[in-house]
Amino acid sequence: RAIGVIGTPTTINSNAYARRIHALDPGVRVYSQACPLFVPLVEEGWLDHPVTRLTALEYLKPVLAEQVDSLVLGCTHYPLLKPLLMEVAGRDVRLVDSAITVAEQAAQTLARLNLANPGAQHAAAQFCVTDIPLRFQTIGERFLGRSLGQIERVGW
pLDDT digit string (tens) for 111-144? 999 988 877 777 788 899 898 888 889 888 988 8
Q: How far apart are CA 140 and CA 152, in angstroms?
A: 14
Contacts of 91 (CB under 8 A, 6+ apart): none
> Would you place residue 41 in the very low, low, confident or very high pLDDT band (cuts 50, 70, 90)?
very high
What are the extents of the domains in the chain? 2-103, 124-156
Q: Please report the pLDDT score of residue 120 as a whole number.
A: 73
Q: What is the DSSP letter of 8?
A: -
Asked whether residue 145 carries a pLDDT value surpassing 90, the answer given is: no
Higher pLDDT, 79 or 117: 79
For residue 156, what pLDDT is reported? 75
CATH no. for 2-103? 3.40.50.1860
How far apart, in whole angstroms, are the C-alpha atoms of residue 55 and residue 149? 33
